[in-house]
């Protein structure tokens, strides 16, 4: 796993310094390797940002039917605010199946302040602010404010050329009057038991 070059806040590689003379630091020009890594870094940022937006569009427009495929096999989707902690594609899929079973719901997840920090060419940290507007039923629905505004932090890994979520932690910042959809512990236990029975049969 090759680590990327050190990058300045502006997004450009920091040149290697050759030494100091007359109280000033003399630096080399950017090497071809650094220039290539700048391109890699921008590409990683673009690819992961697109994946994040695609995920929440999948949830909003397709009930999250394909959401488990955005995670690694043992990926974690958890909340600091609630007791819900999903691990693995099966549990994440069970959550979205339960969400569908509740009936009609209109929701939009708005993503702001999206920041991607590539750690290497196969790993990255991601953070963003997520605002949820949602109510049970079909639109147009009245609202007085968002359901929640949360800070989301993720770790992504590249597998077979695709960026997948290894961990996602959601930390609530503001809470509205209308609750978000949190899978009850009893429902999650039933889903886990059904999966265990299926594996044993």
Domains of the chain (ranges plus CATH)?
33-200 (3.10.450.50)
Q: Give the pLDDT band (50/70/90) at residue 82.
A: confident
Question: Residue 38: which of 16, 6, 82 has the closest Cα?
Answer: 6
Phi, psi of 100 (to 5 degrees): -65, -40
Residues 6+ apart with CB under 8 A from 197: none
Q: What is the CA radius of gyration of the chain?
A: 21
| 3-class SS of residue 161 | coil
Q: What pLDDT score was predicted for residue 1?
A: 58
Q: Give the pLDDT band (50/70/90) at residue 20.
A: very low
Q: What pLDDT score was predicted for residue 70?
A: 98
Phi, psi of 148 (to 5 degrees): -165, 150
Mean pLDDT score, 43-56: 97
Q: Are 86 and 116 in contact (CB under 8 A)?
A: no
| pTM to 2 decimal places | 0.80
Residue-wise pLDDT for 104-160, tens only, equals 999 999 999 999 999 988 999 999 999 999 999 998 999 999 999 999 999 999 999
Q: What pLDDT score was predicted for residue 150?
A: 97
- Asked if pLDDT for residue 16 goes beyond 50, the answer is no
- Asked if pLDDT for residue 58 goes beyond 70, the answer is yes
Residues 6+ apart with CB under 8 A from 167: 75, 76, 78, 154, 155
Of the chain, the percentage scoring pLDDT greater than 90 comes to: 69
| 3-class SS of residue 13 | strand
- Asked if pLDDT for residue 25 goes beyond 50, the answer is no
Q: What pLDDT score was predicted for residue 83?
A: 81
CA-to-CA dists, residue 130 to 56, 66, 183, angstroms:
10, 20, 19
Residues 6+ apart with CB under 8 A from 147: 132, 133, 134, 175, 176, 178, 179, 180
Phi, psi of 198 (to 5 degrees): -65, -35
Q: What pLDDT score was predicted for residue 139?
A: 87
């Amino acid at each position: 796993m090759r680590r990327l070059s050190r990058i300045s806040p502006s997004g450009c590689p920091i040149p290697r310094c050759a030494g100091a003379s007359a109280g000033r630091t003399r630096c080399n020009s950017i090497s071809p390797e650094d220039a290539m890594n700048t391109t890699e870094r921008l590409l990683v940022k673009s690819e992961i940002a697109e994946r994040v937006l695609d995920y929440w569009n999948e949830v909003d427009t397709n009930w999250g039917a394909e959401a488990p495929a955005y995670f690694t096999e043992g990926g974690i989707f958890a909340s600091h605010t609630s007791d819900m902690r999903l691990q693995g594609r099966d549990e994440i899929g069970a959550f979205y199946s339960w969400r569908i079973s509740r009936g009609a719901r209109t929701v939009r997840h708005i993503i702001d302040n999206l920041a991607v920090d590539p750690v290497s060419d196969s790993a990255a940290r991601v953070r963003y602010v997520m605002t949820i507007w949602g109510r049970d039923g079909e639109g147009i629905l009245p609202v007085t404010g968002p359901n929640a505004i949360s800070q989301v932090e993720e770790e992504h890994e590249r597998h077979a050329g695709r960026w997948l979520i290894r961990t996602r932690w959601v930390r609530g910042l503001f809470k509205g009057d209308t609750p978000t959809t949190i899978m009850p512990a009893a429902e999650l236990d039933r889903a886990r038991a059904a999966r265990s029975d299926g594996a044993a049969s």
